[in-house]
Amino acid sequence: MEFTDEHKQKLAAAIKASWTPERREAMRQKRLGANNPFFGKKHTEEFKNANRSRCGELSPRFGRKTPEERRIRLSAIKKGRAVLLYRHGISDEEYAAKTAQGLRWCAGHKDFYAATGNGKQPYCNDCDRKRTLQRKFGVPLGWYDDKLSEQNGGCALCGTQKSGGRRKYLCADHDHRTGGLRGLLCGQCNSAIERLDNVPNWAQKAQDYLKQYEITP
């Protein structure tokens, strides 16, 4: 649906009119909250003067230009990530050759990998999945590999090594009430467990449903 310029102007005017000082203050209190130790406080004059001395005309670097050598070095840094990879033994030539081959540097396992996608994420799919589990559930980065080895490389219920559908990895099954992880399941088993968790007496209802359409010899 395409909006006309007149409709956009009316919508912007309505939003601007609704943004009253009372609403602005309510949003500010909701964001900061009265429990914030700095809520309602203002900067002291000493802090303001110190800030002016550090950033204003009284600063010793006020008005000075960046030296030519530093400007060239900063320009070289912006052209690529090779300068950031010296600590890992990656030279400019190797970095250029790898990126020309379509490879990308992973900040997780510190090595190049075959790039797939738009190229904006700094981690490969495997490291990104492990970091997601760590950030979402607070488990170590190696939790997935350890759990997969414990389950003999397959689903904890049916034992299949296929994730199911378009998934590349097994699902991390967790308790929706507590958020705690339980194990790794394929897509089909994970969906069944979700039904058991969320629908009361789902297993009994499923058995009754199958018996209703059971064909007798």
In this structure, are 143 and 94 located in the same domain? no
Type of residue found at 62: F
What pLDDT does residue 35 have?
A: 61
What pLDDT does residue 79 have?
A: 54
Q: Is there a contact between 144 and 130 (Cβ–Cβ < 8 Å)?
A: yes
In this structure, are 114 and 144 located in the same domain? no
Q: Point out the domain boundary residue: 79, 108, 123.
A: 123
Whether residue 204 is predicted with pLDDT greater than 80 in this model: the reply is: yes
What pLDDT does residue 216 have?
A: 57
Does a structural domain hold residue 156?
Answer: yes
Angle 187-198/202-212 helices, nearest 10 degrees?
110
What pLDDT does residue 190 have?
A: 86
Q: What mean pLDDT do residues 101-120 have?
A: 78
| CA–CA dist 85, 55 (Å, integer) | 33
Does a structural domain hold residue 146?
Answer: yes
What pLDDT does residue 33 have?
A: 65
In this structure, are 104 and 154 located in the same domain? no
Does a structural domain hold residue 6?
Answer: no
Q: Point out the domain boundary residue: 123, 157, 192.
A: 123
User: Residue 211 has which token pair?
Assistant: 């018996």
Transcribe 31-62 into DSSP letters.
HH-TTSTTTT----HHHHHHHHHHHSTTSTTT
Q: Is there a contact between 93 and 85 (Cβ–Cβ < 8 Å)?
A: no
Q: What is the mean pLDDT of the chain?
A: 78
Q: How many domains does the chain have?
A: 2
| Higher-pLDDT residue of 90, 84 | 90
Whether residue 155 is predicted with pLDDT greater than 80 in this model: the reply is: yes
Does a structural domain hold residue 38?
Answer: no
Phi-psi group of 27: left, alpha or beta (phi > 0 → left; psi -120 to 50 → alpha; rest → beta): alpha
Q: What mean pLDDT do residues 131-148 have?
A: 84
The CATH number given to whatever domain includes residue 137 is: 3.40.1800
SS3 136: helix
Q: Is there a contact between 39 and 33 (Cβ–Cβ < 8 Å)?
A: yes
In this structure, are 97 and 152 located in the same domain? no
What pLDDT does residue 58 have?
A: 67
Does a structural domain hold residue 62?
Answer: no
In this structure, are 137 and 184 located in the same domain? yes
In this structure, are 96 and 156 located in the same domain? no
User: Residue 15 has which token pair?
Assistant: 């939003």
> In terms of DSSP bridges, do strands 171-174 and 181-185 run parallel, antiparallel, or are they unpaired?
antiparallel
Whether residue 157 is predicted with pLDDT greater than 70 in this model: the reply is: yes
Does a structural domain hold residue 150?
Answer: yes
In this structure, are 183 and 215 located in the same domain? yes
In this structure, are 198 and 137 located in the same domain? yes
CA torsion through residues 169, 172, 173, 176, sign? negative
Q: Point out the domain boundary residue: 61, 90, 123.
A: 123
Domain that holds residue 181: 124-217
Q: Is there a contact between 71 and 63 (Cβ–Cβ < 8 Å)?
A: no
| Higher-pLDDT residue of 60, 195 | 195
Q: What mean pLDDT do residues 96-116 have?
A: 82
Does a structural domain hold residue 77?
Answer: yes
| CA–CA dist 146, 163 (Å, integer) | 17
Does a structural domain hold residue 91?
Answer: yes
Neighbours of 7 (CB within 10 A): 10
**pTM (two decimals):** 0.50
| Higher-pLDDT residue of 17, 148 | 148
